[in-house]
Structure 1
Amino acid sequence: MELGLAGRRALVTGAGKGIGRSTVQALHAAGAQVVAVSRTQADLDSLVRECPGINTVCVDLGDWEATEQALHGVGPVDLLVNNAAVAVLQPFLEITKEACDVSFDVNLRAVIQVSQIMAKSLIARGAPGAIVNVSSQASQRALANHGVYCSTKGAMDMLTKVMALELGPHKIRVNAVNPTVVMTPMGQANWSDPQKARAMLDRIPLGRFAEVGHVVDSILFLLSDRSGMITGSTLPVDGGFLAT
């Protein structure tokens, strides 16, 4: 299916690893002009070698002032993928202020800030656009030791709907993808215990975790005009987990 992404300009956060990195690679292969955002310069350097011609921004999205300054001059963007996230797993009775601060700063507040910057530019230009927020099945199901993470992703789902409501009149679509466990470095770190993984797999009708490509394909579809009548949705990429 031709998605018509060639020539569009896209910004991807959390672009250094995992889903974000693969999204940059797929957009680049589709002919899009990509701005890759990561807090790790070495990851951006290697990504440029793999995808010559992309632009990069190295910034910690948990820092509001630094993010504002870093993204101020990136130029017009048509498409945005809010993928950057952290997963600090703690039992509820042991949740710390630090875990709350870093998780909400990156997983939610940065989504608001980056989306504001991009949406204001689109509106000023009178241009249509599309935003995809990378959420999680954890936004809709309680998982042990995921109190803060589940909360940030639940908030992201509702933020997605409010953004779609308010930005729709400006021809800006906003959707979320909600993957199950994906075997990225973060996924491997949190789900490498076979007993823990088996308990999750037993709840997934298809009986397997997601591959990065499953999520990237969904992101690209929601960015494209092929999904031109879809906004405010949360798309499970979960093998049926949320259906059980």
Structure 2
Amino acid sequence: MPTPDRNRDFEGRTALVTGAGKGIGRATVQLLVERGARVIAMSRTPADLQTLTQETGCETVCVNLADAAATSQAADAAQPVDLLVNCAGIVELRLFLDTSIEAFDTIMAVNVKAAMIVAQQCARSMIPRDVRGSIVNVSSLSATVGLPLHAAYCASKAALDALTRVMAVELGPHDIRVNSVNPVVTLTPMAEKAWSDPAKSAPMLERIPLNRFVQPLEVARTIAYLLSDDAAMISGVSLAVDGGFQAG
């Protein structure tokens, strides 16, 4: 069992986490609750939300983020929040020549458009309240590295990084910081779908100097750092969590 986190950086603050049912999002909810935050967990899967609230006491919102109107309504209803983690993401593995318009549109809708919509609603609530807000978009190393079978996914994460920079520039004057985290392969259920074949995962591991993939809690701790006052002058950054992948 991991040692309980004694840090209470987020006492008295409210955080909204999308994609909270599994993987990085779930680990982030658990960590933020441990550090004192009131957390609203957003996911499309009721069973995941039920077990998460039993484990952490978080509040929950069930919504399909591919539905823009429902996403906007849910994000608005969740206000007021002080911190946002846009963690929701999907992947569909197809060769570039086989990538369908429908798959591309769905991945962009969840991975980019939903992040924009939720962040808009949060920022619209933060600004009139003079909140020193912080937003973290969960991107990926694939924003800058072309991975076979990931055409739509790579495009979506590159778009999310670009969106992060614009948000940082425009929201900075309102004292709202915006950053992204860009992990290499993280051991989540979605990663199992993409990297369970040793023939595929072995070459990727060989390019990581620390010689392992990332654990969800390690990404969650990076997210918590960027949300916290310890990162008070960090904004517009895409922070790699890659074990040295990009150094090689």
TM-score interval, normalised by the smaller of the two chains = over 0.9
**Partner SS for 2:78:** coil
Residue 163 of structure 1, CA deviation: 0.5
1:9 equivalent among 2, 14, 21: 14
List aligned pairs for 1:33-72, cutoff 5 A: 33-52=38-57, 54-72=58-76
**Partner SS for 1:72:** helix
Conserved 8 A contact 1:3-1:221 = no
List aligned pairs for 1:145-224, cutoff 5 A: 145-224=149-228
Which residue is 1:18 aligned to?
Answer: 23
**Partner SS for 1:56:** strand
Whichever residue aligns with residue 156 of structure 2, its letter is T
Conserved 8 A contact 1:16-1:40 = yes
Taking the aligned partners of 2:241 and 2:103, their CA distance within structure 1 comes to: 26
Whichever residue aligns with residue 156 of structure 1, its letter is L
Taking the aligned partners of 1:70 and 1:120, their CA distance within structure 2 comes to: 14
Which residue is 1:142 aligned to?
Answer: 146
Taking the aligned partners of 1:182 and 1:74, their CA distance within structure 2 comes to: 28
Q: Deviations over 1:58-95 (max 9, x none)?
A: 00011011112222222210000000000111101101
1:226 equivalent among 208, 226, 230: 230
Name stretches of at least 5 consecutive residues in structure 1 with no aligned partner: none
Residue 3 of structure 1, CA deviation: 6.0
Residue 136 of structure 1, CA deviation: 0.4
Residue 124 of structure 1, CA deviation: 1.6
Residue 2 of structure 1, CA deviation: 4.2
**Partner SS for 1:107:** helix
**Partner SS for 1:177:** strand
Q: CA RMSD in A?
A: 1.1
Residue-pair matches, total:
243
Taking the aligned partners of 2:89 and 2:199, their CA distance within structure 1 comes to: 25
Taking the aligned partners of 2:213 and 2:232, their CA distance within structure 1 comes to: 29
Taking the aligned partners of 1:128 and 1:61, their CA distance within structure 2 comes to: 26
TM-score scaled by length of structure 2: 0.96
Taking the aligned partners of 1:38 and 1:216, their CA distance within structure 2 comes to: 17
Taking the aligned partners of 2:187 and 2:140, their CA distance within structure 1 comes to: 13
Taking the aligned partners of 1:199 and 1:160, their CA distance within structure 2 comes to: 30
Which residue is 2:92 aligned to?
Answer: 88
1:76 equivalent among 76, 80, 91: 80
Runs of 4+ in 1 over 4 A off after TM superposition: none
Taking the aligned partners of 1:39 and 1:209, their CA distance within structure 2 comes to: 26
**Partner SS for 2:15:** strand
Conserved 8 A contact 2:79-2:122 = no
Taking the aligned partners of 1:49 and 1:32, their CA distance within structure 2 comes to: 16
Aligned CA distance change for structure 1 residues 144 and 239 (closer, same or farther; 3 Å): same
Taking the aligned partners of 1:3 and 1:239, their CA distance within structure 2 comes to: 27
Residue 165 of structure 1, CA deviation: 0.3
Whichever residue aligns with residue 49 of structure 1, its letter is Q
- 1:120 counterpart = 2:106: no
Residue 125 of structure 1, CA deviation: 1.1
TM-score scaled by length of structure 1: 0.97
